[in-house]
A and B are shown apart, each in its own frame.
Chain A
Amino acid sequence: MSFLKIIEEYQDFNIDAFFDRVTEAGVRRAIGQDRLSAMDYLTLLSPRAESCLEEMAQKAHRLTVQHFGRTMLLFTPIYTANYCVNRCLYCSFNAGNKLHRTKLTPKEVSAEAEIIAATGLKHILLLTGESRQHTPVSYIKDCVRLLKRRFTSISIEIYPLNREEYSELSEAGVDGLTLYQETYDRDAYACLHPSGPKRDYIYRLDAPERGCRGGMRSVNIGALLGLSRWRREAFLTGLHADYLQSSYPDVEISISPPRMRPHLGGFQPAVNVTDTNLVQYVTAFRLFMPRSGITLSTREPAGLRNNMTKLGVTKMSGGTSTAVGGRSNGSEAGQFSIADERSVEEMANMLYRQGYQPVFKDWQAV
């Protein structure tokens, strides 16, 4: 079984006709459900549900406090390479872009890690561009070996691997996998990924599942909002999360709702996803999957992140640089421009002011 089968079940589903039939009473009924069906979730993603956003937000807040407490896990990314063989139109690392390509040496990885560790963070997300040639699994393992000295939880966001490779990295100390499908819309996917191994939609789609099988403790998925119609993307992301959670109950499945940010190249988002849309997505997902994590990154500006602290989000990044070695060598050529440049300390203080506890450590590798 693959999530592809579920996508295909909805291939001819007329989402607009469904939205046309949604009534306000139907939205309120969906909000009131203890356990939402897929159609309840889609109801909450409908344009009609925008009029009930406050009720959705109230319930999302209540459920999140109930299951996660007033806490927020903090983490940060570490970019160790930007070589890439793909040509994703929306990404600065696109192989066709003129960008200084580099890869951190072990000494440089340690230097960058030392700066991050001084902030007190224990959770780190290791990122590279997608190039097996420049950053093979052996290189990732070398980085993990160094990061393990300073961090208790290591996640990866790299090119999709096969199951054996995920197992290999899991045994090396990686406990989390982040991998975005970018878009579940197959036609848009084909246009946005004109060349490189990333053109293989299905291989990428099944990668989170291979990660679950390979021993990852947590798997984070998402669609890059702005590439296709967001309501359908949010729906399929939710179904994907639900599919993974049902199939792999011992893995913590979470989602991210990243929105497009400025980057190298002239590609502009096909769809404008507003703050209201983002809040609707996050609160609807929280009602659909009350115990799943939701990550809000520094793609979003400080004010919005502050306001979304109480709307279902459980994990935030801080002290972020999307450039390779951006903290230790001053590089500014990142994968995308970040919108919230606050330090970890500033993030922690913001959370305390809101009555939330910043959590620096929530896993200890065993």
Chain B
Amino acid sequence: MPDTLKIGGRELTSRLFLGTGKFAGNKLISGVVNASGVQVITVAVRRVDTSFAEENILTYIPEDCILMPNTSGARNAKEAVRIARLARAAGCGNWIKIEVISDNRYLLPDNHETIKATEMLSAEGFIVLPYMSPDLMDARRLADAGAAAVMPLGAPIGTNRGLRTGELIRILIEEIPLPIIVDAGIGRPSEAAEAMEMGAAAVLVNTAIATADDPVAMGRAFGMAVAAGRMAYLSGPGAVQQCASASSPLTGFLSQEGCNELS
């Protein structure tokens, strides 16, 4: 049976999602998609300009990809909801990645407002994928609010610092009955593989691919790393041990009859 990720009634074979905000040209996007096998692409609604085809980012999204507009620029739930509605009205479909950021220094998400927006948009029939700071209780609230997946950050956006929040994400993977998609912070393919080995359902990458010297090759590397990490997860990796297995076990005497007493 093929290993697929099911979200919002769609089945995905690729577990790498792509962000689009930092490419040196929109034309690069299709090259990255082809090289990486990406099937879900997120686009900031603030950047969509349907009146100017040449500079409109939507022109460059392959038709067979799922478009996941995001609410970048929203500072509270109310703005996120308005942006989501704008996206739907502009024909961008039902998927929405909620980003609510009220801190411009670190660009950390506002979980409280994100939960409110998730609740409202889920009720309106959106497939809601909220970006969040990894917190178990808030992730539960998002699940209760109708989120289709939860997207915790690995590190602050654009930092390429990797899975700094790994321990918290691990808890979400164990406890939340929704796909956990690691979004933000992943800077290297090896870190994407690590997230997948942990059991993440998918990873979303923008900066690490878009700002690489060769974004297409980096996209391919991420596609391979995500697939490898997923395969490793499904293969049941061996347990991690602190010490090597002792060749002279300290309790070996227990299995040797007649030798368990001092003579």
Give the interface of A toward B (CB within 8 A): 65-71, 120, 122, 152, 217, 245-246, 249-253, 291, 352, 355-364, 366
Report chain B residues within 8 Å CB of A120.
52, 54-55
A178: min CB distance to chain B, Å:
17
Question: B24 to chain A: which residues have CB within 8 Å?
Answer: 69-71, 355-357
Interface majority SS on A: helix, strand, loop or mixed? Answer: loop
Is the Cβ of B25 less than 8 Å from the Cβ of A352?
yes
- Find chain B residues with CB under 8 A from A249 CB: 102-105
In the complex, chain A residues whose CB is within 8 Å of the CB of B31: none
* Complex Cα gap A252–B107 (Å): 11
Contacts of A67 in B (CB 8 A): 158
Contact A70 B22 (CB under 8 A): yes
Interface 9-residue window, one of B42-50, B125-133, B136-144: B42-50
Q: A216 to B159, alpha carbons, bound, how many Å?
A: 27
Chain B residues engaging chain A, CB cutoff 8 angstroms: 21-26, 45-49, 52, 54-55, 73-75, 79, 82-83, 86, 102-105, 107, 158-160, 207, 210-211
Task: Assess whether A358 is in contact with B159, with CB atoms less than 8 Å apart.
Answer: no
A65 adjacent to B211 (CB under 8 Å): yes
CB distance A245 to B104 under 8 Å?
yes
A69 in contact with B25 (CB, 8 Å): no
Q: How far is the CB of B12 from chain A (nearest CB, A)?
A: 25
Q: Select one of A246, A291, A360, A366 contacting B79, CB under 8 A.
A: A366
B49's partner among A68, A250, A361 (CB-CB below 8 A) is A361
The 8 Å CB contact of A66, one of B23, B74, B79, B207, is B207
Q: A360 and B55: CB pair below 8 A? A: yes
Q: Is A71 a contact of B22 with CB atoms below 8 Å?
A: yes
Contact A69 B23 (CB under 8 A): yes
Whole-angstrom distance between the Cβ of B99 and the nearest chain A Cβ? 13
CA distance A357 to B207 in the complex (A): 15
Closest to A292 in B: B104
Q: A361-B46, A364-B46 are in contact. Are A69 and B21 (CB under 8 A)?
A: yes
Shortest distance between the CB of B151 and any CB in chain A (Å): 20
Q: Does the CB pair A250–B207 fall under 8 Å?
A: no
Bound form: Cα–Cα A273–B24 in Å? 32
Q: Taking the nearest CB of chain A, how far is it from the CB of B104, in angstroms?
A: 5
| B59–chain A nearest beta-carbon distance, Å | 13
Kindly provide the distance from the CB of A309 to the nearest chain B CB, expressed in whole angstroms. Answer: 12
Q: Give chain B residues whose Cβ lies under 8 Å from the Cβ of A245.
A: 104-105
Can you list 29 pairs linking A and B with CB atoms under 8 Å apart?
A: A66-B158, A66-B211, A69-B21, A69-B207, A71-B22, A71-B23, A71-B24, A120-B52, A120-B55, A122-B49, A152-B49, A217-B73, A249-B102, A249-B104, A253-B104, A355-B25, A357-B23, A359-B47, A361-B46, A361-B49, A362-B46, A363-B73, A364-B45, A364-B48, A364-B73, A364-B83, A366-B79, A366-B83, A366-B86
What is the bound-complex CA distance between A250 and B109, given in angstroms?
Answer: 11
Which residues of B sit under 8 angstroms from A65, Cβ to Cβ?
A: 22, 211
Report yes or no: B107 in contact with A366, Cβ–Cβ below 8 A. Answer: no
**Complex Cα gap A362–B48 (Å):** 8
Given known A69-B211, A70-B23, A245-B105, contact A363–B75 (CB-CB < 8 A): no
CA distance A254 to B162 in the complex (A): 28
Q: Which residues of A contact B79 (CB under 8 A)?
A: 366
Distance (whole angstroms) from the CB of A209 to the closest CB of chain B: 15
Distance (whole angstroms) from the CB of B213 to the closest CB of chain A: 10
Say which residue of B22, B48, B104 sits within 8 Å of A68 (CB atoms). B22
**Top 9 A-B pairs, shortest CB-CB distance:** A69-B22, A70-B24, A366-B82, A250-B102, A361-B49, A249-B103, A250-B75, A120-B52, A355-B24
